[in-house]
Structure 1
Amino acid sequence: MKFSEASSTTTYRITAYDESSISVNQGKLTRSFIITPDKLITTWEPQHIAAMTPADLEPLFAGGAEVILIGSGATQAFPPAAVWQALVQHGIGFEIMRTDAACRTYNVLSSEARRIVAAFFI
């Protein structure tokens, strides 16, 4: 699905997505990544939500976000219990949803100048 261009103060926006990739600005990503309105991390290691560990959350916690989004892939899936527990204990609001829904949600929240960090599994 393509998005129309919108003016925003954010540096990184999701401009398109499909089953095998997500486009951020003009670049197409085909592996898991982390995005904030002003930072893009393309070297995030876990490639499936079931492979996540609590240590994988550190870059999500580091940015001082008020909301964490996790796009779980084509279907909604949840991380292992230890990851879920670490998210709850950290005290930041979080949502886990299908990647397509997380793409749309990320763009809305970032356009509202919310402090958001999102992790996407493709």
Structure 2
Amino acid sequence: MKLQPDKFDVQSITGYGPGWVGINTEKVVHSVVVGSRGERLDWNCNRFEDLTAEHFAQLAALAPELVIFGSGQRIRFPQPVWLKPMMAQRVGVETMDTQAACRTYNILAQEGRHVVAALLLEPAA
């Protein structure tokens, strides 16, 4: 029994590795926000320590159903105060390492959910 179509009409994350992700046919080497409704923007941060409330307000402005925060090579949680705009809009936020965030984004986007992945891509060591 076939459960999934062969081709999806949403942006897909097609690969990842230390310091990069593949979005459709493009290799991206900087932090990026990707959405299931075609949203795509540079996310101006190179390290977890660079993040501010403004980064998360940018995500809230997209008004998704769910934000998946890929926190880099290991899981690190954003400060609760940074999430206030999303909580006020009843937008869910899930935090995981960036590789897990890529996989989760693909699953939810292919289900037709309005999901945004904020992917922190730290420079490869």
What TM bracket, shorter-length normalisation?
Answer: 0.7 to 0.9
The answer on 1:71 being equivalent to 2:84 is no
The answer on 1:26 being equivalent to 2:25 is yes
Moved more, 104-113 or 50-59: 50-59
Q: Percent identity between the aligned chains?
A: 29
Written as runs of structure 1 = structure 2, the 5 A alignment for 1:1-122 is: 6-10=6-10, 12-37=11-36, 38-42=38-42, 44-122=43-121
Unaligned runs of 5+ in 1: 1-5
Q: Are 1:34 and 1:117, in contact at CA under 8 Å, matched by a contact in 2?
A: yes
Q: Are 2:57 and 2:82, in contact at CA under 8 Å, matched by a contact in 1?
A: no
Moved more, 96-105 or 86-95: 86-95
Moved more, 16-25 or 54-63: 54-63
Q: 1:50 to 1:82 in 2, by over 3 A?
A: farther
Q: Are 2:57 and 2:85, in contact at CA under 8 Å, matched by a contact in 1?
A: no
Which protein has the larger Cα radius of gyration, Structure 1 or Structure 2? 2
**Aligned partners of 2:75 and 2:57: how far apart in 1?**
22
Across the aligned residues of Structure 1 and Structure 2, the Cα RMSD in angstroms comes to: 1.6
The Cα offsets for residues 33-72 of structure 1, whole Å up to 9 and x where unpaired, read as 1000212112x21222332211112331122211000000
TM-score by length of structure 1 reads: 0.84
SS of the residue corresponding to residue 45 of structure 1 reads coil
Q: Are 1:22 and 1:30, in contact at CA under 8 Å, matched by a contact in 2?
A: yes
Q: Are 1:50 and 1:80, in contact at CA under 8 Å, matched by a contact in 2?
A: no
TM-score by length of structure 2 reads: 0.82
Unaligned runs of 5+ in 2: 1-5
The amino acid that maps onto 2:73 is A
Size of the alignment, in residue pairs? 115
